[in-house]
Structure 1
Amino acid sequence: MSLNRQLAMFSAESARPSAYDLAGLLIGPGQVTRMGGTARVSVVVDAAWRVHALAAEFTARGLETSWEPAAIDGHFGVRTAYTGMLAPLAEAWLRGSGKRPPAGFALDGARLRLWFAAAGSVDPEGDGAVLRLGGNDEHCAAPALRAFTALACMAELGRGPVLRIAGRRRVARLGELVGERPAMAPLGAWPGDQSAGEDSGAEAGSSEQAEPRPVRTVRGPRMRPAAVAPGQLDTGQVEPDQAGTAPVGTGSDFTGP
């Protein structure tokens, strides 16, 4: 199979959005917590545009979203509501009070897109990129590297811990996997952007310094599990309930920071 065809198979646009895609946040700095038969996923991000990007991704998966300023200046906490849709994710990832990647953990474009939206960055010259893990998640580093290189994208582990992608061609491949730049992301913040000079720096600065507004919750359409044929692997795909309500906010009109 050619590399281009393989990348197309695993790109963010190749499959329907699924609640299981939030595993991309958990291999990064995200956290999952349980309450009864429900669970929620949360992550702290360092820029306002990431709040908008994640809100759009959560809404596309039928997940309610809220955010608030984090304890670290200029950072924001983004989280889903508690929902039974995320309970299987918590079951797979939680070991006691901590998270741990399940055996055979794999990445695809959708999971990578969420990870990059929360904790990815591109070097100013566009010839390198970084995917950040949680500060105390060294045990996630090796599974993350294996899953990443399985997508024909080479990377190295760095301090942080982080995955470091070096070279324009590798960054371009990463861009093909994660899909188009989110609407609110500044030019140069997303892999595949051709320019990341002074203009992008100015845009990034204005986006990151935007004054937060009051906490807002975004409601997505109610979702129900997709039908799974006998013997077919349930990948957590979900589809909209026809009786569900339309989303209140999207990536373009979400009232975020």
Structure 2
Amino acid sequence: MSLSGTGEPTDGLTPPALFPAPALFPAPGPDRVAPAPRRAAPPPPADPDDSARQLPFFAADAADPSLADLAGLLAGPGEVVRMGGTARLSVVVDAAWRVHVLVAELASRGVAATWEATADGRHAVRTSYARTLKPLAVAWLRGAAKRPPAGFHLNGRRLRLWLAAAGVAEPPGFLLRLGAADEECWEPVGGALAAVGLSGALLGPGDGGPAYRIAGRRRLARLAELVGDPPPAAPAEAWPGPA
């Protein structure tokens, strides 16, 4: 069963039920004028005593979507593979609403995606093989192994994708799940979280992970600030809100 990047089923079947598909924003075509880029507001002066107030220009709505944002999926459990001069991104998610959100997010970046149910009741979301995804694969792959590139960083748009794919509310905090086979990614990804004010506790596989637990009023408020409002398909309890 597949779902196209336009949000319409490619075989006449419906996408996973429970939540309506959100509005999609197709990439500009020959008859479509691209919207003017939004200008991010300048950052306020740094406050060395309050890291949670720093870097608001990293928030999800600070710039238009780009293919570079897909690194947020790879920070979590997403995978990328190469084939010739192309690459494909995939991620397995545990809820139908995540399929709707990810397909819409990918479509807004001009990337077609399909999905199919897995044997364990989850959903595998995959992009088409595309030349535009090759730079992402080149940056993240060392042979067949996934590694964050030098200088990897997180921002609101990347965190939004990671949260949509693998963020789990675990009161009083949030878990950001990692790839089970990506142990060499965990530490640098944790460093990237800390750099945007989201220092988290790393949970190993025996403790309900692998995942980073984001906890504390200030950090949760920072997470909500960075990822922005919940997507239309996301349950309210599945998305961080303002403190």
TM-score, reference length from structure 2:
0.75
Whether 1:102 aligns to 2:144 is: no
Find out whether 1:67 has 2:115 as its counterpart: yes
Q: Which structure has the higher relative contact order (CA within 8 Å, separation 6+)? A: 1
Q: Does 1:80 align with 2:123?
A: no
Secondary structure class of the residue paired with 1:104: coil
Q: Which amino acid aligns with 2:161?
A: L
2:105 to 40, 50, 57: 57
1:31 to 2:79 alignment = yes
Which of 173, 180, 192 aligns to 2:222? It is 173
- For 1:205, the equivalent position in structure 2 comes to none
* Whole-Å separation in 1 of the counterparts to 2:219 and 2:63: 22
1: CA distance, partners of 2:72 / 2:192: 11
- Note the C-alpha offset of 1:84: 1.0
Q: Does 1:6 align with 2:51?
A: no
Question: More displaced, 36-45 or 6-15?
Answer: 6-15
* Cα distance in structure 1, aligned partners of 2:242 and 2:83: 40
Q: Which residue of 2 aligns with 1:93?
A: 140
Task: Kindly indicate whether the alpha-carbon contact (under 8 Å) linking 2:52 and 2:218 is maintained by their aligned counterparts in 1.
Answer: no
Q: Over residues 73-120 of structure 1, what are the superposed CA-to-partner deviations in whole Å (9 max), with x where a residue is unaligned?
A: 2x1000111111110000011111121111121111111110010000
Q: Is the 8 A contact 1:10 1:109 kept in 2?
A: yes
| CA distance in 2: counterparts of 1:108 and 1:141, whole angstroms | 17
Instruction: Report how far residue 18 of structure 1 moved.
Output: 0.8
1:144 alignment counterpart: 189
**Matched AA of 1:110:** R
Deviation of the 1:149 alpha carbon: 0.5
Number of residue-to-residue matches in the alignment: 191
Structure 1: which 5+ residue stretches go unaligned? Answer: 195-257
Q: Give the drift of 1:193.
A: 6.5
SS in 1 for 2:60: coil
* Structure 1 residues 23-81: Cα deviation after superposition (integer angstroms, max 9, x where no partner): 111111000011111111000000000001101110110110110101222x1000111
Task: Using the TM superposition, give the Cα deviation of residue 5 of structure 1 relative to its aligned residue in structure 2, in angstroms.
Answer: 6.0
TM superposition shift of 1:156 = 1.3
Q: RMSD value over aligned CA atoms?
A: 1.5
Distance (whole Å) between structure 2 residues aligned to residue 166 and residue 67 of structure 1:
32
**Which consecutive residues of structure 2, in runs of 5 or more, have no partner in the other structure?**
1-45
Which residue of structure 2 aligns with residue 19 of structure 1? 67
SS at match of 1:188: helix
Q: Partners of 1:37 and 1:178 in 2: how far apart?
A: 32
- Report the secondary structure of 1:110's partner residue: helix
- Determine helix, strand or coil for the equivalent of 1:68: strand
- Aligned counterpart, 1:206: none
